[in-house]
Amino acid sequence: MAKLSDLRDAIDQKLLVRAMAAHSPLSALLAEEAGFDALWASGFELSALYGLADVSLISMTQHLDMVRAMGEQSSLPIIADIDTGFGNAINVIYAIEQYERAGAAAVVIEDKTFPKVTSLVADGRQDLLRLEEFQGKIRAAIATRSDPNFLIIARTEALIAGLGEEEALKRAAAYEAAGADMILVHSKQKTPDEVESFVRAWSGKAPVAIVPTAYPEMNEERIKTLGKIAIVIYGNHAIRASVTAMKDVFARILKDGGIHNVNRDIVSVEEVFRLQKMDQVKADEKRFLA
């Protein structure tokens, strides 16, 4: 498990933190081996893993258990996507206590009403909380954490809700004033223009996080030129890659009438054994089993 200060240290050093979404200990382990800097404990991905819509159906307990499990298998700092904080400011207080205790490095709380609707779905209901009520959630989170290295990231969905840049900037400034360590701005536009405009106009001191799922042209070179973005979150690519691979393999097995062709294109059982640390198990058996 990562040290709580690892994420803040990287941000303070002006490094661009690359966070990969994860929905399981295995995906967390693979993200770390690939070379990512942090994990995004994605509510969307975990909902998809359960075959459920991302509309606040997954409980805090389910998400928290997965954060703990991922932390046991990975040394990367975990940014926990806790949606709206599972309710009002009182729910946020309890959530912050639990996620900090579980070893998360940060939480992201968004300014939608509970229950939320996933941001990128067409014609989805995107209702935002009153600004003052969300400020209360941020203040509650700041007051509850025991370690200032545990980051509270305020996510504004003003652009997602179609309220425009002025409202997004107004909310971001209010959330920073309430104590948020970072601002996450989200957009469903197909190009980076909207987010780039927001970042250029942002005059606050809090660094910015983005999730360029809808606007994939926003590569890291382009991000770095803006100078204010500290975290880029690749928000749902683990689950999408998993679905792509499984659909392909399952279809090929049925088409071929067996596994004789697909077998050479997927990882070996031995590779899975490596990820499961079977060598250590065998060594322990030799050492301790009579």
| pLDDT, position 21 | 98
| pLDDT, position 54 | 95
Distances 262 to 9, 13, 48, 250 between C-alpha atoms, Å: 44, 45, 25, 9
**Ranges in the chain, pLDDT < 50:** none
Q: Under CATH, what is the fold of the domain 6-237?
A: TIM Barrel (3.20.20)
Distances 34 to 18, 31, 44 between C-alpha atoms, Å: 11, 5, 21
Tokens representing residue 242 in the block: 């998993």
| pLDDT, position 128 | 97
| pLDDT, position 133 | 98
CB-side neighbour CA atoms (13 Å) of 211: 26
Domain boundaries, the chain: 6-237, 243-288
Q: What is the pTM of this model?
A: 0.95
Task: Identify the CA nearest to 150 among candidates 102, 110, 89.
Answer: 102
| pLDDT, position 164 | 97
Instruction: Give catalytic residues, as residue numbers.
Output: 54
Q: Assess contact for 108 and 80: CB atoms under 8 A.
A: yes
